[in-house]
Amino acid sequence: MLPRLIAPVVVWLITTTLLVVTPVVEATEAEVNGSPALGSVGWWAALVVLTAQAGLLFWRRSRPLTVLLCVAAASVVLALTGAGDGTSLAVAAVVVAVWAAVISVALPRRARALAGALVGAGLLVALGTCLSQTDIGVSVRTAVLAGLVQGAGVVVAPALLAVTVRARRDARSARSDLALAVDREESAQIAAAIAEERTAMARELHDIAAHHLTGIAVMTGAVERQIDTDPAGAKESVRQVRTQSTAMLRELRGLVSLLRSPGQTEQESGHERLSHLADLVEAARRTGLEVELSTLGSEAAARVGPLAQLSAYRTVQECLANAARHAPGARCEVVLDARDPAEVVVTVRNGPPPRPAPPADAPKRHGLGLVGMQERADLTDSVLESGPTADGGWQTLLRIPVAATAEVAG
């Protein structure tokens, strides 16, 4: 309420002050006599009109075009009541009404109505000025010219300024709306990517259980046949069952934790990531494995999604376990290469075993490690390559495409 009263009050104070001061000033100079005398009927009429004009400005925002035309018509009323040069005092309210109309009217829906109101207001001001000038003895030609200049100046100047201010305000609002829309779109994309990632994790959860349980079922069937005829083989099968069960529980625990707590950070969730490879390598060293870790490029972990990071971590873990099992004492190397912006490459390479291979009659292990690694790679659209090296060792290479996994960084 208070901001709406400021403009009417200021306009009324200015116009009424000038209405009082102008006759006093003119009284001191005999050659200047164009305004009604202080206290005369014309003066009181002008005071009433200017007060009503200022009061109309209170509704300048709710009914801007109506207020503009009514305020401009006050010029004609002042001229008809004999205000003379006092008619020009009406321009203050007209300027405020023009500003409010240009700022408030909805564009472009009411552009024609605004243009018509501005032209009408200019003509009313011009008519009032023309009538007041002819009333004080100015020639008709000069009065018409003065009226047109007055009407154009009172309407055009504030209208242009208001258009400039409104354009800047609309541009600022458009930028703000665009930024908000971009934020909403990014939030929707992130939410969709998270949902897709969680769906992929659910698929891996099923695959993990199926992979390990299938192996457990096969090995328990062997135990049933070996328990009487081959106790040593049965014990080995039981150890394999325990290993598979432990691995499955560990993987299920990690995935369920991540699925159940999607808002946790990397450190809070405890889920294996590329940044944990150093800990994995250090743990392997403590078991007696000679292994080194090399990192090429920076911010590798931030460029790959959590599911792909889990897959890479488990691949390295499986490779180190295979090296310790099949090439005991061999030197191993883990390389994390993130120099290519399109992909992250994880390589695990071990040399030939320094000790002789176990005898042919030793019990053989038929693991499912390569199958599990391939399944995880397929789940994240990665490429897995593995095979023997020229020196008799083994190399496993995992190519993780960044474009397919970088939507969600955890």
Q: SS3 letters for 15-50?
A: HHHHHHHHHHHHHCCCCCCCCCCCCCHHHHHHHHHH
| Burial grade of 106 (CB within 10 A; 0-12, 13-18, 19 or more) | exposed
* CB-based burial, 18-49: b 16+ in 10 Å, e otherwise: bbeebbeebeeeeeeebbbeeeeebbebbbeb
Q: Which residue has the tokens 């949902």?
A: 195
Q: What tokens appear for 321 in the block?
A: 């376990």
Which residues are registered as beta bridge partners of 347?
Answer: 335, 397
Numbers of helices and strands, H then E, in the chain:
12, 5
Output the CA–CA distances (angstroms, integers) from residue 296 to 194, 208, 339, 343, in the order listed: 28, 31, 6, 12
Q: How far apart are CA 93 and CA 123, in angstroms?
A: 15
Q: How far apart are CA 57 and CA 68, in angstroms?
A: 8
CB 346 within 8 A of CB 358: no
Taking the CA atoms of 248, 249, 251 and 256 in sequence, report the sign of the dihedral they define: positive
Q: How far apart are CA 377 and CA 398, in angstroms?
A: 8
What is the rounded (10 degree) CA torsion for 67, 71, 72, 74?
Answer: 150
Q: Enumerate the domain spans of the chain.
A: 2-182, 272-410
Q: How far apart are CA 281 and CA 290, in angstroms?
A: 9
Which residues are registered as beta bridge partners of 349?
Answer: 333, 395
Residue type, 119: V
| pLDDT recorded at residue 346 | 93
| pLDDT recorded at residue 361 | 46
Output the CA–CA distances (angstroms, integers) from residue 400 to 46, 281, 356, in the order listed: 85, 20, 35
Beta-carbon-side half-sphere exposure of residue 267 (alpha carbons within 13 Å): 0
Residue type, 250: R
Cis ω on the peptide bond leading into residue 341 (within 30° of 0)?
no
Distance of CA 38 to the CA centre of its chain: 64
Residue type, 33: N
CB 408 within 8 A of CB 193: yes
H-helix or E-strand spanning residue 393: none
Which residues are registered as beta bridge partners of 387?
Answer: 395
Q: How far apart are CA 181 and CA 169, in angstroms?
A: 18
Q: What tokens appear for 95 in the block?
A: 């300027």
| pLDDT recorded at residue 409 | 39
| pLDDT recorded at residue 230 | 80
Q: What tokens appear for 65 in the block?
A: 């075009």
* CB-based burial, 124-134: b 16+ in 10 Å, e otherwise: bbbbbbbbbbb
Which residues are registered as beta bridge partners of 120?
Answer: none
Q: What tokens appear for 147 in the block?
A: 């009226």
CB 237 within 8 A of CB 216: no
| pLDDT recorded at residue 284 | 82
DSSP for 310-356 reads: HHHHHHHHHHHHHHHHHSTT-EEEEEEE--STTEEEEEEEE---SSP
Residue type, 216: I
- Low-confidence residues of the chain: pLDDT under 50: 263-270, 360-367, 404-410
| pLDDT recorded at residue 392 | 87
Domain at 272-410, CATH homologous superfamily: Histidine kinase-like ATPase, C-terminal domain (3.30.565.10)
H-helix or E-strand spanning residue 37: none
Q: What tokens appear for 213 in the block?
A: 């349980």
